[in-house]
Amino acid sequence: MRKVYNLALEVRTRAWLQRQERVSYNDTSAMLSQWKKAEELAFLSEVSSVPLQQALRHLQAAFSNFFGGRAEYPRFKSKKRSRKAAEYTRSGFTFRGGKLTLAKMADPLSVVWSRPLPEGVVPSTVTVSRDGAGRWFVSMLCEDAGVRPLPVTDAAVGIDAGLSSLVTLSTGEKVANPRQEHRDRARLAKAQRELCRKAPGRGANREKARRKVARIYARIADRRRDYLHKLTTRLVRENQTIVIEDLVVSNMMGGRLARAISDAAWAHMRFMLQYKAAWYGRELVVVDRWFPSSRLCSACGSIRAHLPLNVREWTCGCGQVHDRDVNAARNILAAGLAVTVCGGSVRPHRSTPERPRSVKQKVQPAREGIRPVRAEEVKSK
């Protein structure tokens, strides 16, 4: 799949740079038949054509996003860093009696299912993938009739994300930060030192050391994902309206707290809240990132000029004593409810002008002898 994706990307890039021609998905699909006849690419005929065609469709989607201004120019997939996955549509597999057989396979896959599929459901897409730790996974795309909107409730909650507590709710509850990466930091550091001592190359010992590091990372990621799933499911089930801040996590990753912020996985938590709220008929409201939730008094509405991060409790001029995180969560909830009532995007107390987004496109060089393609250059033709 990676090989076909890279071949098609190289053909499309060369065609544009040398002849200003656009190569469509249908053109690359026809080229695939010719590639299979080449002696050096004969191995492509040993696998089903379905995942190969899917790779070409993914490339077409990447170009559509590029020309639509939603993404950068497609990059070549690395053999080491890219995700190893093959996607099969309905014509590329059979699923009967709980057994999955892929195209060009005589026997069904030996799969340990995490849970059974809903009764009477037939998967439309099957994706077989392998992670960096060498573990194989099978994921199925299907319609689950059990996912339906929950009964409507009047409950609403504001959420303030943090590090000492993963989230603080407007109700005053603080959810502990499990610090999943910190728990395995010593073991991870030891494994990484062992990897650094292995000479780079194709040696088996270096690969074993790399797998050991990858398994530790996978263990950390699995624990973090499980914890976030339980937390977000609980928040969605208990509340009709959930209000969060529009945090730009990527902008926070350059400071001394980058490792702790990465371990907290705020962006992943927001993503889970988004799709679960859509599943269960809940409303997720995102307030502006410049909203002074921590410095605003939730009792009288006055704003404190400065509030350093080390100040966890402060007293307003009106005499109200605030816990920094609980006060922020309550203000976030109030701002989110204002959004639901007034509509649009309510941005209260904004004092910092919005910066224009950069339209500069960074493009990975295609191959030796091929210069990068700029978005402006392609769109101007």
Instruction: Give alpha helix (H) positions in 110-247.
Output: 180-183, 185-197, 204-238
Co-location of 24 and 61 in the same domain: yes
Q: Do residues 304 and 315 touch, judged by C-beta distance below 8 A?
A: no
Do 169 and 291 reside in the same domain of the chain? yes
Quick one: 71 and 160 in the same domain?
Answer: no
pTM above 0.75, yes or no: yes
Claim to verify: residue 102 and residue 72 sit in the same structural domain: no
Q: Is residue 146 in a domain?
A: no
In this structure, the answer to whether residues 13 and 137 fall within a common structural domain is no
Domain boundary among 82, 107, 125: 82
Could you tell me if 294 and 327 lie in one domain?
yes
Identified catalytic residue from 87, 181, 263, 325 = 325
Note whether residue 267 is domain-resident.
yes
Look at residue 31 and tell me if it is in a domain: yes
Q: For residue 323, tell me if it sits in a domain.
A: yes
Output the domain CATH number for residue 296. 3.30.420
Q: Determine the structural domain holding residue 172 and report its residue range.
A: 156-177+223-342
Q: Does residue 160 sit in the same domain as residue 308? A: yes
Tens digits of pLDDT across the chain (381 residues) = 899 999 999 999 999 999 889 899 999 999 999 999 888 998 999 889 999 999 999 999 999 999 999 999 999 998 877 778 999 999 999 998 888 999 999 899 998 988 888 888 889 999 999 998 989 999 999 888 778 899 999 999 999 999 999 999 999 999 999 999 999 999 999 999 999 999 887 678 998 999 999 999 999 999 999 999 999 999 999 999 999 999 888 888 888 889 999 999 999 999 999 999 999 999 999 998 888 888 889 888 888 888 888 888 888 888 888 889 999 999 999 999 887 776 655 454 444 444 434 333 333 333 344 444 444 444 444
107 labelled catalytic: no
Handedness of CA 346, 352, 356, 357 (dihedral sign): negative
Torsion angles phi and psi, residue 115, rounded to 5: -165, 150
**How many distinct structural domains can be found in the chain?**
3
The answer on 103 and 74 residing in a single domain is no
Distance CA 75, CA 95 (A): 34
Shared domain for 299 and 244, answered yes or no, is: yes
The answer to whether residue 202 is domain-embedded is no
Instruction: Reply yes or no on whether 160 is catalytic.
Output: yes
Is residue 323 among the annotated active site residues? no
What string of DSSP letters covers 256-310?
TTHHHHHHHTHHHHHHHHHHHHHHTT-EEEEE-TT--TTTB-TTT--B-S---TT
Same domain, 64 and 95: no
Kindly state whether residues 39 and 118 are assigned to the same domain.
Answer: no
Residue 167 within any structural domain of the chain: yes
Task: Please identify which of the residues 160, 184, 288, 376 carries the catalytic annotation.
Answer: 160
- Among 87, 181, 245, 263, the active-site one is 245
Residues 126 and 270 in one domain: no
Domain boundary among 82, 101, 129: 82
Coil, helix or strand for 219? Answer: helix
Cα–chain center distance at 17: 32
